[in-house]
Amino acid sequence: MNTAALSCPVCQSANTAHWSSAPDYEYFSVEGNFNYYTCRDCGTIFIDPVPVALLHKIYPANYYSFVNKGKNPVVRVKEWLDRRFFRKIIKQLPGDTLAVLDVGGGTGWMLDVLKRADQRIQFTQSVDIDPRAREGAEAKGHAYFEGTIEQFETDKRFDLVLLLNLIEHVADPKAVMQKAGDLLKPGGRIVIKTPNTDSWDARLFRNTYWGGLHSPRHWVIFSEKSFRLLLNGTGLTIQRLQYTQGAPFWAFSIIAAGYRRKWLRVSAQKPIIFHWLFAPLSAIFACVDFIRRPFAKTSQLFIVLHKEHNS
């Protein structure tokens, strides 16, 4: 464990402390524990050292965003909710034709949802590190770039950029936000979904395993305060910020606890997200989070950013 003071990757404060240690309980992709630290000033939780060299090991072939999502009733309901959510955002975008970029978009399943939500969306681009996603994305009419957003170069500018469950996966979130802002047209929107460190479940499962760590794939995890600090100097402003349900983190945490006590079985071949308990636990805690959301900070943030016309 690194006992020297570490600088927070968001606010650069050295007022940091060890927060937790965790293995990969979800995919068993690599061995050993990973250390997470917290910034006492802004609430950021971050991994150290950052496992950049393990990038292609910690995202195995059965990683949830790489596999095809079946059209079961839960998926259909989620897609309907997504269309409803994004339709309100897209309505604010001017123009007869729109271009959308999904960073970490895989084969473009979310881009499919958006195209059904608004017929003005004519150009769609997926950026992802999965080489197997290209064929599926291009077959559905999406442009595809294999790599990270930092490596992605284009003259095209986008009306809408999606960073859904993405910003917590990168070593330099400030650089990613600046790149996303550069790729956005003036007046455009960026939609972000990311875990929130200032939540009940983060505190409850800190000394066991909090699913929001998604260890070792989440590298920088934000509070509302630290995310607002991250935007300084990017030319992006928050149009809307709300807390939303973090049911998967509750499910990950509980199943991992059962695995540690040898009550439940999980493995690299059948990771937690495919465990039979994952869906019912997620459904239960989604309801719990929606009930308590008006008076409590739940463990995920939904953020809509706006780029001013004079940026």
Find the helix packing angle between 247-260 and 278-292, rounded to 10°.
Answer: 130
Q: Which of 44-58, 67-81, 242-256 has the lowest mean pLDDT?
A: 67-81
Q: Would the pLDDT of 39 be above 70?
A: yes
Tens digits of residue pLDDT in 236-295? 999 999 999 999 999 999 999 999 999 999 999 889 989 999 999 999 999 999 999 999
pLDDT category at 187 given cuts 50, 70, 90 is very high
Q: Compute the mean pLDDT over every residue in the chain, rounded to the nearest whole number.
A: 92
Nearest to 112 by CA among 148, 151, 150, 86: 86
Q: For residue 52, count CB atoms less than 10 angstroms from its CB and return exposed for 0-12, middle for 13-18, buried for 19 or more.
A: exposed
Rounded to the nearest 10°, the torsion over CA 236, 292, 209, 4 is 50
Q: How confident is the model at residue 204 (pLDDT cuts 50, 70, 90)?
A: very high
CB 204 within 8 A of CB 139: no
Question: Residue 309: pLDDT above 90?
Answer: no
Mean pLDDT of 59-88: 72
Sign of torsion over alpha carbons 196, 200, 203, 204? negative
**Collapsing DSSP states into helix, strand and coil, what is residue 227?**
helix
61 — pLDDT class (breaks 50, 70, 90): confident
DSSP states along 56-124: HHHS-TT-TTTSPPP--HHHHHHHHHHHHHHHHHHTTS-SSSEEEEEET-TTTHHHHHHHHH-TTEEEE
Task: Give the predicted TM-score (pTM) of the model.
Answer: 0.92
Q: 129-163, pLDDT tens digit by residue?
A: 988 899 999 999 999 999 999 999 999 999 999 99
Give the full edge-to-edge strand order of the sheet including 45-47. 16-22, 34-39, 45-47, 220-221
Percent of the chain with pLDDT over 70: 93
Cα separation, 193 vs 181, in Å, equals 16
Cis before 51 (ω within 30): no
pLDDT of 76? 65
Angle between helices 109-117 and 73-90 (to 10 degrees): 60
Res. 4: pLDDT tops 90 = no
CA atoms within 13 A on the CB side of 254: 16
